[in-house]
Amino acid sequence: METSSEIVPRTKELYRRELPGAGYVAIDLTQPHDESEPPHASAGSRIRVSVERRADKERRSGHHPPIVAEFTGDHHAPEVGELYRMAADNAALARALIEWQGRRQAISRDD
C-alpha cells in the first residue's frame, strides 16, 4: 500500500454578508493540511476576499466570484483586519472590483 504525502488545502468561510441589490462578499481562509505540521501552524494560510455579484444561484454555477483582495501568511496578522474592513465597506468593495476589472482587461489586452 502506498501512502501520499500530498498537502490538501482546507477552506473555511470566515465572513459572509449579503450585498445591497444582489450577491454577497465573503472572506475565506485556506490552510494547507499537512500531517507533519501542528494544527495551529498558520504561516501558509491564504485569506481571500471574493465578491459575488450575481443574485441568481443558477447563474453562479460553474463560475467563481472575483477575488478582489488576498493575503498569504499568518491568519492572525494585522493585515487580515484590513480585509475585514474592506469586506464591510461597500465603497471599498466597489473600488476593489474596479481595480480587479482593470487588471483583467489589461491581461486580456496582453494576450
Query: What value does the CA radius of gyration of the chain take, rounded to a whole number of Å?
Result: 16
Give yes or no for residue 35 having a pLDDT over 80.
no
Q: What is the pTM of this model?
A: 0.77
Helix intervals (H) in 14-89: 57-60, 78-88
Q: What is the pLDDT, as a whole number, of residue 60?
A: 65
- Return the bridge partners of 32, or none: 9
Please work out, in degrees rounded to the nearest 5, the angle formed at the alpha carbon of residue 25 by the alpha carbons of 86 and 15: 80
Give yes or no for residue 2 having a pLDDT over 60.
no
The dihedral built from the CA positions of residue 98, 53, 24 and 105, taken in this order, carries a sign that is negative
Cβ 14 vs Cβ 28: under 8 Å: yes
Euclidean distance between CA atoms 84 and 20, whole angstroms: 17
**What number is the average pLDDT over the span 67-76?**
90
**What number is the average pLDDT over the span 85-92?**
96
Q: List the domain boundaries for the chain.
A: 8-110
**What number is the average pLDDT over the span 37-57?**
76
Q: What contacts 7, CB < 8 A, 6 or more positions away? A: 32, 33, 34
Query: Using one digit for the tens of pLDDT, what is the confidence trace for 99-108?
Result: 999 988 888 7
